[in-house]
Amino acid sequence: MTEDQARAVVLLQAFECADEGPLWTAEDRGWATRAARQAVPDAVAPERFVVERARLALQRLAPRDAGVRRALAQRLWSPRWPLAALGVGTMAGVLSDALVAGPYFNLLSPLFWGLLAWNLALYLLLAVTSLRPAAAGPVRGGLAWGLQRGLRRLGRVGPLADFASRWARVSLALGTRRVAVLLHLAAAGLALGLIGGLMLRGLVFDYRAGWASTLLQPDTLRQALDWGLAPAQAVTGIAPPDAAAFDALRVTPGQPATVSAAPWIVLMVAQLVLVVLLPRLALATHAAWRARQLAARFALPLTGPYFERLRPVDAPQGVWVLPHARTPEPAAVLGLRALMARVWGDALALQIAPALAYGDEDEPPPAPQGWRPLVTVDLAATPEPDTHGRLLKALAARGGPPVLLLADSSGFLRRFGAGPRLEERVSTWRNLARDAGAALVVAALDAPDLDGAERAWRQALDSV
C-alpha cells in the first residue's frame, strides 16, 4: 500500500481500538466490513481489503470530525523541504565563513578542519550502524518522539492522540530516510557556503595564507597538513611545500602573512568537495530514493488482534446449530447471531435445530449439505467423553466441514465467576474437543465480548 493508504488504515485503527463512541459505532464497523467485502474479491491480497475498508470508512467518518479531516489533509513531507535545507545550509556556511574570516587565510582554520572531522566521524558512524542497526536506537527513538510530538497537535487525548503514537511507530523507517535527506543536504549546503565564501574572498581580495601555533612544531604541522589534504593534492596536482616554504608561512607578531593563498584555497575547496559536498549529495540521493520506495510500497504490518479480526474468513452456506441437552435462551440466541455476524457477516444463514436429548448422541440429526455444524453446550456441564465426545465424533464421521463446539459460559460465570475454576473447566472441555477432532470456543452468549469471542472463533477456525 502507499503511504497515504497506510495512514488511512492506521487512523481508522485508532478509532476502532478506542471505546465505542458516537463518531464511530459498531454499526459503522459492520457497514465498513460489508461494503469492503462487496467491493474487493475474496481472492485478492488482504492488504487490498484493509485499504478499501479504510477508504470507505473514512468517507463516512471524516465529515463527522474536523480532527480526522486535518489528519488526512496534513502532509508530513514537501518537495520544497530539501531545497530549503540546502539553502539554509548554504547561508549558514557563508555566514560562518564571514564570521571566522581574519586578516589572512588561516591554514589551521577550526571551521574547515572541524567540518572535515565531523563528516568523517559521521561516515564512520553510518558504516557501523549499517552493520549493527540496533546502534541507531537513540537516533530512531528521538525521531519517533519528534514525529509523535508533531502529530499530537491533532489531539491530546482520544483516538487522534492514539493515531499519532501509532503512526510515529510504523512510519519510523520512512521518517528516518526523510530526515536523513534534509540533514545531508543541509551539510552539503554548509560545505557549499564555505566554498563560496573562500572563492569570493580569493576573487575580490589579495588574500594571503599563513599559520600560527604555540604548541605545534613546523615539521609536525607540515606533515599533518600534507596527510590531511592528500586527496585534494592528488586531484589538483598541487604539490605540498617543502620545509623552508612552509616555515615562511608562519605568522608571528613581527612577520605578517606574505604568501599568496591561491593554492591553499584551491586545495581546501577541493577537499571540501571530495570529503563533504559529493558524499553528502550521494547520501541524500540514496536516502531520497529509499524514502520514495518506502512511501510507494509502505510496509504496514497487518498483525495483531485488530487485523486478525479484519481478515476475511471463508463463509459457509450457513451455520447449523445443534444444542445439546438444553435449548438456548433467547438472549443466548441473540448473542450467537451477533457473534456469527461479526465473523461471517450479517447475511450468514443461521439455523438452530431442536435440542438433542441425552442418550441420542449416536444418531444426531443431519446438518444441511454444505453448512457448518456447531454444537452448543453449557460450560457448567461436566464434559463427558461417552456423551459429548460421542456426539462430536458422530457428526465428524458424516464428513463435511469440521465440527465446532461452543461452550456457553453465561451460567457458569453467574454461579462461580472467573478464576481458576473457570480455567480448569475450559481446559477440560478443550481437551475433550481436541480428542474428538473438534475446536472449542468459549463465550458468554447472554452478553458476549464480541472482540474476544471473535478472536477465539478465528483461532478455532484456523485449528481445524
Domain-located, residue 306: no
Query: Do 131 and 273 lie in a common domain?
Result: yes
Query: Do 145 and 284 lie in a common domain?
Result: yes
Query: Do 84 and 58 lie in a common domain?
Result: no
Amino acid at 350: L
- Alpha-carbon distances, residue 382 vs 226, 231, 251, 407, 428 (angstroms): 90, 85, 100, 11, 9
% of residues, the chain, pLDDT over 90: 37
Query: Do 114 and 22 lie in a common domain?
Result: no
Rounded CA-CA distance 35/24 in Å is 16
Query: Do 318 and 342 lie in a common domain?
Result: yes
The predicted pLDDT at position 136 comes to 47
The predicted pLDDT at position 135 comes to 44
Domain-located, residue 91: yes
Rounded CA-CA distance 85/83 in Å is 5
Strand order in the sheet with 404-408: 349-352, 318-323, 372-378, 404-408, 439-443
Query: Do 109 and 188 lie in a common domain?
Result: yes
| pLDDT range class, residue 439, cuts 50, 70, 90 | confident
Query: Do 107 and 169 lie in a common domain?
Result: yes
Answer with the one of 23, 49, 75 that is the final residue of a domain. 75
Task: Please say if the pLDDT value at position 158 is more than 90.
Answer: no
Domain-located, residue 439: yes
Domain-located, residue 415: yes
| Gyration radius of the chain's alpha carbons | 36
CATH number reported for the structural domain that contains residue 340 in this entry: 3.40.50
User: In this structure, are residues 280 and 8 in contact, taking their beta carbons and an 8 Å threshold?
Assistant: no
* 253-267, 389-403, 426-440: least confident range: 253-267
| pLDDT range class, residue 455, cuts 50, 70, 90 | confident
Query: Which domain does 65 fall in, by range?
Result: 3-75
Count: domains in the chain: 3
Domain-located, residue 302: no
DSSP structure string for 41-55: -TTS-HHHHHHHHHH
Query: Do 265 and 116 lie in a common domain?
Result: yes
Query: Do 181 and 267 lie in a common domain?
Result: yes
pLDDT in tens, 84-127: 999 999 999 989 877 777 778 888 888 899 999 999 999 998 88
Helix/strand/coil for 252: strand
Query: Do 67 and 85 lie in a common domain?
Result: no
- pTM equals 0.70
Burial of 423 (0-12, 13-18, 19+ CB in 10 A): exposed
Query: Do 62 and 182 lie in a common domain?
Result: no
Strand order in the sheet with 105-106: 105-106, 208-210, 259-260
- DSSP at 154: G
* Joined grid coordinates for residue 14: 485508532
Comparing CA positions, the residue from 454, 447, 450, 404 lying closest to residue 429 is 404
Query: Do 68 and 118 lie in a common domain?
Result: no
Task: Please say if the pLDDT value at position 457 is more than 60.
Answer: yes
pLDDT in tens, 305-339: 788 777 666 567 788 999 998 899 889 999 888 88
The predicted pLDDT at position 355 comes to 93
Residue, of 285 and 71, whose pLDDT is higher: 285
Answer with the one of 57, 75, 93 that is the final residue of a domain. 75
Task: Please say if the pLDDT value at position 157 is more than 70.
Answer: no
91 phi and psi angles, rounded to 5 deg: -60, -40
pLDDT in tens, 11-54: 999 998 887 778 888 788 878 887 888 888 765 677 898 999 99
The average confidence (pLDDT) of the chain is: 85
pLDDT in tens, 196-248: 988 887 776 777 888 787 777 888 888 888 898 999 999 999 888 888 888 88
Answer with the one of 296, 327, 354 that is the final residue of a domain. 296
Length, in residues, of the chain: 464
